[in-house]
Amino acid sequence: MSKDKKQAILDAALMLFTGQGYHATSTASVAKTAGVATGTLFHHFASKEELLAQLFLSVKQELADAMRSALKETDSFAQRAHHIWQVGLEWAMANPEKQLFFQQFCMSPALSQEIRKMAMEEVLGFLGTLLQQGQQAGVLARFPLDLMLENCHGQFLATTRFFLDNPARWQQQQYRQAAFDQFWQSIASH
């Protein structure tokens, strides 16, 4: 039951933070929307900042799990990259509120740099490893890894924003392929 209450709090925070903003959302309104007492919220999350951080990491983990499931060692490096990219976009389109949350909070000063770093290095660490493997194999450009990860993240956010704003384009293979091609050209060795 406690896990259900914690998830209800996270779900309510997701809805309220994306709908009305972090600063305009009180912990009392999150608790009320979740159907729990404010004390229950603070039992699970010491502060609104911790609630935001845990929500960010849990949603990022959900995306990472979906992307990691696309890894097939038998595929070429470019095929693996395409699968991961495509699965990430499919996840974003299937979870528009969660992707909107990323759009709003991935660079927000409300999230500490430590939490953003944890999300990139621990939750999405497999992507850094994959980029390093691609560089070592000569498939990817030898840009600094941390810069490359930020670039990949930025392109993913821009692409998902485009498709969420233009859902009819998401249905067109030409646009989905062009989105990957632009991404790939920015990281591939030439």
> Which pLDDT belongs to residue 40?
94
> Which pLDDT belongs to residue 2?
67
The domains found in the chain, sorted by start residue, are 1-45 (1.10.10.60), 48-187 (1.10.357.10)
Position with higher pLDDT, 49 vs 77 = 49
Residue 92 scores a pLDDT above 70: yes
Q: What is the pLDDT of residues 150-179, one digit of tens each?
A: 999 999 999 999 999 999 999 999 999 999
Q: What is the number of other CB atoms lying within 10 angstroms of the CB of residue 181? A: 12
> Which pLDDT belongs to residue 75?
74
Q: In 3-state terms, what secondary structure has residue 47?
A: coil
- Residue 124's nearest CA partner among 59, 76, 53 is 59
Exposure string over 159-175, b if 16+ CB within 10 A, otherwise e: bbeebeeeeeebeeeeb
As a whole number of angstroms, the distance between CA 42 and CA 45 comes to 5
* Mean pLDDT in residue range 109-132: 91
Residue 115 scores a pLDDT above 90: yes
- Rounded to two decimals, the pTM is 0.91
54 confidence band (pLDDT: 50, 70, 90): very high
> Which pLDDT belongs to residue 76?
84
